Amino acid sequence: MNTKKYDLTEGNILRRLLLVAAPLMGTQVLQMAYNLTDLIWLGRVHTDAVASVGTAGMYMWLSMAFLMTGRMGAEIGVSQFMGRSDLQGAKSFSQNALFLALVSGVTYALFVGLLRHPLIGVFAIREAHVAQGAADYLGIVALGMPAMFISGAISGTFNGVGNSRIPFLVNGFGIVLNMILTPIFIFTLDFGLHGAAWSTVISQMTVVILAILCIRFFRIRPFDNFTFFVRPNLQRIKQIFRWTIPISIESGAFTLLSMVVGRFVAAIGANALAVQRIGIQIESISWMLAMGFASALTAFVGQNYGRGCWSRIHRGARLSLFIMGIWGIVTMVIPLLFGRQLFALFIPGEPGAVLEEGVRFLRILAVCQIFICLEFWAVGIFRGLGRTIPPTISTIIGNSIRVPLAYFLSLTPLGVAGLWWGISLGAVIRGIILVSWYFIASRRLPQEDVIPAGDVDASLTGAASS
């Protein structure tokens, strides 16, 4: 691979950031498009199908807490060691991250596949057929989870070296395949929501095969002679866990606390569940693109941290803050102006009350969009520095506040809107905490370039423990 082409420690900062960010954001756009079209197809089956898939989707979402071990272990380790021009070290982190991805993927798949009925029972869904549909969907998609974990670690490797174009092409192919198969399986083959699950599994299997071929044989693969079956390196695995356990806790806590709110919503009925599911997917216009940019920022900061280019890190942080701020404003305005038109795409023929509740949900969520974008900005920087504790703490605090907020506000005259306000205000709190933390901690970081010598970011460690 031409390492200079993907070297993020030299050249125009905006151009280098966009080189990595554009494919990552493109992947998120395709994923978002799939999620939305999937809901459109399911909405034409019945609102209850949307509620079933949305409930099972909580455990797909929870899987990200464990998937992050492989993906972020590769992304952080590879980016930092590429910055040091240590190709062997970068390859070793990639191989050990893949090992952890395989183990965690198989373990999680067995967990949700075998325990799908009691797991869905946690939500205490009032409609028995909705709960059964959710359990059926979860049992099928569990088959593709190991493939999803492995392809995530391979994507993290490519992102870490600065070549996010390959994951974009591979994942994009899988998403487009899924978009094609879903209506065929749902309607032509008359599989209903089971068809949506099987199309997802087939697409995930296709993606992992392509990803393995790319990292092993592709002309611009990150490493020569890459092998999958290596003896695990205990030192590397310990370091990956040091980086990723906070990320996993962060992701898992976010999802589990969201499940608590989801239980409140489920107690209201399938229509409220459908509103939440559709509204969150429309909201993903904001956070999925912000997440893609954050991954690019992690690779940028990681490589420059590895080489000790602190002045470049600070310039990149300021530039990306401006970009994410503008995007946050845009995504705040869109649901305020076009919420009704967006929501109406997903529920043709449904009662007007469902549409009105959906529009209200989107307008309340609009309040928190700029805070979500700025939160991802800070997350990307912290992860690139290998300091993953601050995002974890802010997520746990913000979402712990979200649950009682949602509950008590729902008991006021706001009713179900109180749940939506709890969700939105929790995101506002998370964003304020993490961005403030970064600005305070960044004052203690080196301002000029230094030769890396051990863990030079002790100031952020101190901030994390204070």
Q: What is the pLDDT of residues 1-49, one digit of tens each?
A: 545 667 888 889 988 888 888 888 888 777 777 776 777 777 676 667 7
Inter-axis angle of helices 352-366 and 310-344, nearest 10: 160
Mean pLDDT of 344-362: 74
* pLDDT higher than 90, residue 204: yes
| Residue 462 placed within a domain | no
As a whole number of angstroms, the distance between CA 216 and CA 146 comes to: 19
Identify the domain containing residue 66 by its residue range. 13-445
| Residue 313 placed within a domain | yes
**Residue 330, Cβ neighbours under 10 Å: how many?**
15
The predicted pLDDT at position 451 comes to: 63
The predicted pLDDT at position 466 comes to: 28
| Residue 424 placed within a domain | yes
Q: What is the mean pLDDT of the chain?
A: 85
* pLDDT higher than 90, residue 116: yes
DSSP code string of 260-282: HHHHHHHHH-HHHHHHHHHHHHH
Span 247-291, pLDDT tens digits: 898 888 878 877 777 777 767 776 777 777 777 777 777 788 888
| Residue 236 placed within a domain | yes
As a whole number of angstroms, the distance between CA 65 and CA 107 comes to: 13
Using a pLDDT cut of 90, give the percent of the chain over it.
41
As a whole number of angstroms, the distance between CA 434 and CA 299 comes to: 19
* pLDDT higher than 60, residue 455: no
Mean pLDDT of 343-363: 75
| Residue 455 placed within a domain | no
| Residue 38 placed within a domain | yes
| Residue 430 placed within a domain | yes
| Residue 216 placed within a domain | yes
Decide: helix, strand or coil at residue 220: coil
Could you give the number of structural domains in the chain?
Answer: 1
Residue 388: phi, psi to the nearest 5? -100, 0
CA 173, 175, 370, 149 dihedral sign is: negative
Residues with Cβ within 8 Å of residue 378, at least 6 apart in sequence: 390, 391, 434, 435, 437, 438
Q: Name which residue leads in pLDDT, 124 or 90.
A: 90
Q: Considering the entire predicted model, what is its pTM?
A: 0.78
As a whole number of angstroms, the distance between CA 166 and CA 279 comes to: 31
Instruction: Give the HSE-up count for residue 264: Cα atoms under 13 Å, Cβ half-sphere.
Output: 24
The predicted pLDDT at position 454 comes to: 46
Contact status, residue 372 vs residue 394, Cβ threshold 8 Å: no
As a whole number of angstroms, the distance between CA 280 and CA 424 comes to: 11
**Residue 350, Cβ neighbours under 10 Å: how many?**
17
Q: Which two tokens stand for residue 212?
A: 């393995």
